Structure 1
Amino acid sequence: MNIQTIYNKRAFILAAMGLAGLLPLQHAAAQETLKQETIDIISTNQPKLRDAYKLNLTASLPGVDTSRPSLKYQVPALNLNFMYQAAPLKPLALGKDSLGRLQNNFIKLGYGNLNTPLVQAGFGSGRNEVYNFGVFVNYTGSKGKDIANQDYSNLNVLASGAYLLPKFELNASIGYDRNTIHYYGYDHDVISYEKGDIAQTFNQLTAIVGGQNRPQNDWAFTFQPQVKFVLFNDSYKRTENTFVFKVPVRKQVFEDIYIQAEGVFDLSTYKEDNNRAINNNVVAVHPAVEIIKPRFVLHAGVNPTWTNDKFYLLPDIVNESHLVHKKLILSSGWISYFDKNSYRNLASQNPFLAGLTSGILNTRVEEKYTGIKGTLGSHFNYNTKFAAVTWYNRPLFINDAADTKKFLTRNEAELRAFQLHAEVGYIEEEKFQARVSFDWYNYNKQETEVKPWHLPPFQGDLFLQYTMAKKLHLNANLYALSGSYYQLPNLDFGKTSSTWDLNLGAGYDIGKHFNVWLNANNIFNTRYQRWYLYPTYGFNVVGGVMIKF
């Protein structure tokens, strides 16, 4: 309450008292001179609120109780009475952890309309953690009906095995091959030969010894040395001995980076009668680095090679990039390598070859290619490639002008071509398979020869296989082959005809151990000539039985 208010109250009280009983004094007071009073105002009224009391709160977490509580449970007993009393439990004996016995042995017998016997047999050791071995034997042959001396026979024997040590594997094999053909590519109306005079038999004995370490993890150092001996000869006292030694080495240095190298020593010596021996050697080293990722693969290396008395540094670069994971893969590369033109290799291409000419060189092949490949869904797969290919010193086969039933080799210094390769496959487990593929070459440059003699520019293949009820097996093969150029004795040239070759086969399983089979070859009965003057067999059928045990 301020001072102004107090003084106002005092004035009000005096006035009230005057009215209540002091009126008689009014006159006397009136006679006196009125006194003047002054009121001093010290300050104005400024109301204030008392300061509020504030509580200071500090938040903090309670301490963690790390003591282990002692909990006690008390489960009341529940007594149930069952009418059925369960039998006591007893453990069962575990069965043996073993796989069933494999059918590693078979015998296949057959016969065909061209006096074609067929005998095959295979015997294996079965499953074994320490060693395994196998033996394979094959014999077949045919006699032509329409063309004299159009006969051949083929015998193959192979024995191989492996011995497994804790950290190393030893393997070895020995094989013998005997292939007999006849030079029947002559004018049968003018000339007649005894069968023994035009027979040619190739004998080959091959022995291989090798090994490889057995790493315990993916980061280990791996190597696979191998030694190979080949003794090759024919009926005309031509012999060729070959020694091959390979040492591939590979090491993982990072999770997705590998380094590798391979040393190759391929040494051959060819001799005919008492002529001077011809040495043909190829020595190479293949160092490379590989980067392998889920969607990217790069192989980058070089191939230093010594052959033909020269040194070559060859490229070896291959790349695969997934544009769409596993469905669309871009594949490209630049590679170069040597094809060895030994007598054995050339005779395997053309068995009617008349020996090895002196001065023959090994073929250097260079490919620059790109293409796409991948899978579509869970059944389809495809692969395409477009390449520019160059062959340096490629041997071409021409008929001998003095004896047209035999072939000589001509050296093509440089042969160029564009190659288109395509294949599409479909697989539905073991029930159905289909595959179509072809290779087309556009030979656009020959440096020393007029034509690419006996090189067909197109080859195609269609394969089908179907299994019905797991017992009936059907298959079909359709081959397409374009014609190729050949040289005549007068140095003119011609071209063989294109052809289609259809083969059908069927097999039926009788129980677990028996199978009957039938193969029909050259359904169209086309006598095409892969080599000029050498028509193939026409329609022929071979059938028989196979026993598995």
Structure 2
Amino acid sequence: MNIQTLYSRQTLMIAAMCATGVLHQQKAFAQEPLKQETIDIISTNQPKLRDAYKLNLTASLPGIDTSRPLLKYQVPALNLNFMYQAAQLKPLALGRDSLGALQNNFIKLGYGNLKTPYVQAGFGSGRKDAYNYGLFVNYVGSQGKEISDQQYSNLNVLASGAYLLPGFELNGSLAYDRNTIHYYGYNHDTLKYNKGDIAQTFNQFTASVGLKNRPQHDWAFEFQPQVKFILFNDSYKRTENTFLARIPVRKQVFEDIYIKAEGVFDLSTYKQENVRSINNNVVAIHPAVDIIKPGFVLHAGVNPTWTNSKFYLLPDVVNESHLVRKKLILSSGWISYFEKNSYRNLINKNPFMAGLADGILNTRVEEKYTGIKGTLGSHFNYNTKFAAVTWYNMPLFVNDSADTKFFTTRNEEQLRAFQLHAEVGYIEEEKFQARVTFDWYNYNKQETEVKPWHLPPFQGDLFLQYTFAKKLRLSADLFALSGSYYLLPNKDFGKTKGAWDLNAGASYDVHKNFSLWLNANNIFNTHYQRWYLYPTYGFNIVGGVMIKF
């Protein structure tokens, strides 16, 4: 049965029921009052639509056209007429070298009070592509007027050169140094000596040869071996022959990591009047690794060393960390090394020493330090260090109890001190320079000796230099030195006085080839004693001319 038939039947039924109701209503109206009727709906009409048919569509790509199209172009010819005709290209000639001729040679002559002649000269080859050479000569001497026999002279001659090969540089030098002093540290009221009896002359001949490679890139091996022969003698028939060889090698293995090593052979033999001889040898190898990064540097190595008939494995660690880039750098390290106590090295410290003592040992130095350094702006730089230093087998100079004008050495087995080093500098191109430095040592422990004989705990230096109009240069150098302890023949001890020493200099360029100069030393005229019984010369002024060509 469909929806329309059902709907028609239900309509007829409802119409019949309504008609019957009307009849009954009319009849009831005539006979009795109207009664209420109830209509029950059996079911409700719920229309529904028939399901629609769905179309399923499947998309597909068209086939690939693999045929190569044939394209034809027709470009019309353009006939253009230019009024400008380009000139023919020609190479330009190189400009001349803008560097001016060098003044390779100079002669400096002067004279001053205290019978002070001054001669200095230098001669050089200038700019050469294949080689260069130079010769330097220096002579100066003085004679004190307040103390007899207070005089010295110093002569230095040096000839050096280098020959450049495609991959190497060969260099060598010959030098002669002659230093004459007098032992004037005696009581001049009671003792008299002939000059020949108290004169001392040190002669030193040095020959060296070295080789250095010229790497073509940063990753190549770098090596620079050098060999040196030194003959040293004095007027008392003391001789010392030294052979010194250094062989450093360096290689970059990564972008910021380098490995390096250096072999050191320092062999010497001391003889006195051809009677006895002392062999003093130091052999060491210094392997290390360097890590160099922006703001960080680490040098880590060890120093295996053979000397004094013993083997030592010494630390060699240094670090620099930038807390503020280039302005605040933390520097720290733990290093140890040997200072060779040869006759020549000790004479360079104290020229009034009488010979080399038997059984003298080389000094082992150990430093543990930290500090800060850096730059401020474009002119200031500074460097500070606080260190704990220990010297093992340190030779200390004392006056000879039999003859006080000579010095002998005492072996201090272990000497400790705290060190404070500070340095501040200012540089304004070549116009103005200023620098102040000082070193302060707090000697707090010694095992063998009562005092650290002739070791001043404080030394300072203030240097200034100013140039006016690139012609007039003025300089000043102020030194400060504290007193040091000395040992008397009766086993008592005393202390020298501290001192200030001011030096000043000036030079004026009259011409590019000619200038005048003047130097004044010990302007305060203080006769302080760096070594007991040996006062300084006092005020000294020297002036002269300088010729450059």
- TM class by smaller structure: 0.7 to 0.9
Letter in 2 for 1:345: N
Letter in 1 for 2:382: Y
Using the TM superposition, give the Cα deviation of residue 69 of structure 1 relative to its aligned residue in structure 2, in angstroms: 11
Counterpart residue number, 2:448: 448
Letter in 2 for 1:200: Q
Q: Deviations over 1:160-183 (max 9, x none)?
A: 001111111111001000000000
Scaled by the length of structure 1, the TM-score of the pair is 0.86
1:408-447, aligned counterparts within 5 Å?
A: 408-447=408-447
Letter in 1 for 2:157: V
Task: Evaluate the alpha carbon distance shift between residue 96 and residue 400 of structure 1 in structure 2; reply closer, same or farther with a 3 A threshold.
Answer: same
SS in 2 for 1:121: strand
Letter in 2 for 1:481: L
Q: Distance in 1 between matches of 2:72 and 2:491?
A: 107
Counterpart residue number, 1:335: 335
Letter in 2 for 1:173: S
Task: Evaluate the alpha carbon distance shift between residue 280 and residue 45 of structure 1 in structure 2; reply closer, same or farther with a 3 A threshold.
Answer: closer
1:389 aligns with 2:401: no
SS in 1 for 2:425: strand
Moved more, 523-532 or 71-80: 71-80
Using the TM superposition, give the Cα deviation of residue 540 of structure 1 relative to its aligned residue in structure 2, in angstroms: 1.1
Counterpart residue number, 1:344: 344
SS in 2 for 1:277: strand
Letter in 2 for 1:242: T
Q: Distance in 1 between matches of 2:433 and 2:239?
A: 43
1:220-369, aligned counterparts within 5 Å?
A: 220-369=220-369
Letter in 2 for 1:234: D
1:495-514, aligned counterparts within 5 Å?
A: 495-514=495-514
Counterpart residue number, 2:142: 142
Counterpart residue number, 2:526: 526
Q: Distance in 2 between matches of 1:135 and 1:388?
A: 43
RMSD value over aligned CA atoms?
3.2
Moved more, 101-110 or 150-159: 101-110
Counterpart residue number, 1:163: 163
Using the TM superposition, give the Cα deviation of residue 92 of structure 1 relative to its aligned residue in structure 2, in angstroms: 5.8
Counterpart residue number, 1:109: 109
Q: Distance in 2 between matches of 1:124 and 1:299?
A: 38
Q: Distance in 1 between matches of 2:446 and 2:536?
A: 29
Letter in 2 for 1:290: D
Q: Deviations over 1:351-407 (max 9, x none)?
A: 000111111000000000000101111111100000000000000000011110110
Letter in 2 for 1:433: Q
Q: Distance in 1 between matches of 2:299 and 2:322?
A: 15
Q: Distance in 1 between matches of 2:447 and 2:114?
A: 44
Task: Evaluate the alpha carbon distance shift between residue 43 and residue 494 of structure 1 in structure 2; reply closer, same or farther with a 3 A threshold.
Answer: closer
Task: Evaluate the alpha carbon distance shift between residue 491 and residue 255 of structure 1 in structure 2; reply closer, same or farther with a 3 A threshold.
Answer: same
Counterpart residue number, 1:26: none
Q: Which runs of 4+ in 1 moved over 3 A?
A: 41-52, 65-80, 87-94
Task: Evaluate the alpha carbon distance shift between residue 48 and residue 90 of structure 1 in structure 2; reply closer, same or farther with a 3 A threshold.
Answer: same
Letter in 1 for 2:486: Y
Q: Distance in 1 between matches of 2:282 and 2:365?
A: 14
Using the TM superposition, give the Cα deviation of residue 93 of structure 1 relative to its aligned residue in structure 2, in angstroms: 3.9
SS in 2 for 1:215: coil
Using the TM superposition, give the Cα deviation of residue 88 of structure 1 relative to its aligned residue in structure 2, in angstroms: 11
Letter in 1 for 2:289: V
Counterpart residue number, 2:485: 485
Q: Distance in 1 between matches of 2:194 and 2:500?
A: 33
Task: Evaluate the alpha carbon distance shift between residue 216 and residue 190 of structure 1 in structure 2; reply closer, same or farther with a 3 A threshold.
Answer: same
Counterpart residue number, 1:14: none
Task: Evaluate the alpha carbon distance shift between residue 255 and residue 44 of structure 1 in structure 2; reply closer, same or farther with a 3 A threshold.
Answer: closer
Letter in 2 for 1:482: S
Letter in 1 for 2:414: E
Q: Distance in 2 between matches of 1:67 and 1:163?
A: 71
Counterpart residue number, 1:404: 404
Using the TM superposition, give the Cα deviation of residue 287 of structure 1 relative to its aligned residue in structure 2, in angstroms: 0.8
Counterpart residue number, 2:548: 548
Provide structure 1 residue ranges, at least 5 long, that are not aligned to the other structure: 8-40, 59-64
Task: Evaluate the alpha carbon distance shift between residue 188 and residue 72 of structure 1 in structure 2; reply closer, same or farther with a 3 A threshold.
Answer: farther
Using the TM superposition, give the Cα deviation of residue 66 of structure 1 relative to its aligned residue in structure 2, in angstroms: 13
1:175-214, aligned counterparts within 5 Å?
A: 175-214=175-214
Q: Distance in 2 between matches of 1:435 and 1:539?
A: 24
Letter in 2 for 1:180: T
Q: Distance in 1 between matches of 2:93 and 2:379?
A: 43
Q: Distance in 1 between matches of 2:365 and 2:359?
A: 19
Q: Distance in 2 between matches of 1:67 and 1:403?
A: 116
Q: Deviations over 1:226-269 (max 9, x none)?
A: 11100000000000000011111111111111111111111110
Q: Distance in 1 between matches of 2:342 and 2:74?
A: 89
Counterpart residue number, 1:539: 539
SS in 1 for 2:276: coil
Letter in 2 for 1:351: P
Letter in 2 for 1:394: M
Counterpart residue number, 1:37: none
Using the TM superposition, give the Cα deviation of residue 523 of structure 1 relative to its aligned residue in structure 2, in angstroms: 1.0
Q: Distance in 2 between matches of 1:318 and 1:150?
A: 45
Task: Evaluate the alpha carbon distance shift between residue 42 and residue 533 of structure 1 in structure 2; reply closer, same or farther with a 3 A threshold.
Answer: closer
Task: Evaluate the alpha carbon distance shift between residue 546 and residue 78 of structure 1 in structure 2; reply closer, same or farther with a 3 A threshold.
Answer: same
1:133 aligns with 2:122: no
Using the TM superposition, give the Cα deviation of residue 57 of structure 1 relative to its aligned residue in structure 2, in angstroms: 13
Q: Distance in 2 between matches of 1:290 and 1:107?
A: 44
Counterpart residue number, 2:100: 100
Q: Distance in 2 between matches of 1:298 and 1:226?
A: 26
Letter in 2 for 1:156: N
Letter in 1 for 2:355: G
Counterpart residue number, 1:216: 216
Using the TM superposition, give the Cα deviation of residue 96 of structure 1 relative to its aligned residue in structure 2, in angstroms: 2.8
Q: Distance in 2 between matches of 1:286 and 1:500?
A: 41
Task: Evaluate the alpha carbon distance shift between residue 43 and residue 239 of structure 1 in structure 2; reply closer, same or farther with a 3 A threshold.
Answer: closer
Counterpart residue number, 1:12: none
Counterpart residue number, 2:22: none
Q: Distance in 2 between matches of 1:118 and 1:512?
A: 22
SS in 2 for 1:412: strand
Scaled by the length of structure 2, the TM-score of the pair is 0.86
Q: Distance in 1 between matches of 2:226 and 2:530?
A: 35
Using the TM superposition, give the Cα deviation of residue 511 of structure 1 relative to its aligned residue in structure 2, in angstroms: 2.0
Identical-residue share of aligned pairs (%): 76
Using the TM superposition, give the Cα deviation of residue 97 of structure 1 relative to its aligned residue in structure 2, in angstroms: 4.0
SS in 2 for 1:347: helix
Letter in 2 for 1:370: T
Using the TM superposition, give the Cα deviation of residue 79 of structure 1 relative to its aligned residue in structure 2, in angstroms: 9.6
Counterpart residue number, 2:465: 465
Q: Distance in 1 between matches of 2:72 and 2:387?
A: 78
Q: Distance in 2 between matches of 1:360 and 1:119?
A: 38
SS in 2 for 1:373: strand
SS in 2 for 1:313: strand
Task: Evaluate the alpha carbon distance shift between residue 46 and residue 296 of structure 1 in structure 2; reply closer, same or farther with a 3 A threshold.
Answer: same
Counterpart residue number, 1:152: 152
Provide structure 2 residue ranges, at least 5 long, that are not aligned to the other structure: 9-43, 62-67
Q: Distance in 2 between matches of 1:456 and 1:66?
A: 99
Task: Evaluate the alpha carbon distance shift between residue 210 and residue 71 of structure 1 in structure 2; reply closer, same or farther with a 3 A threshold.
Answer: farther
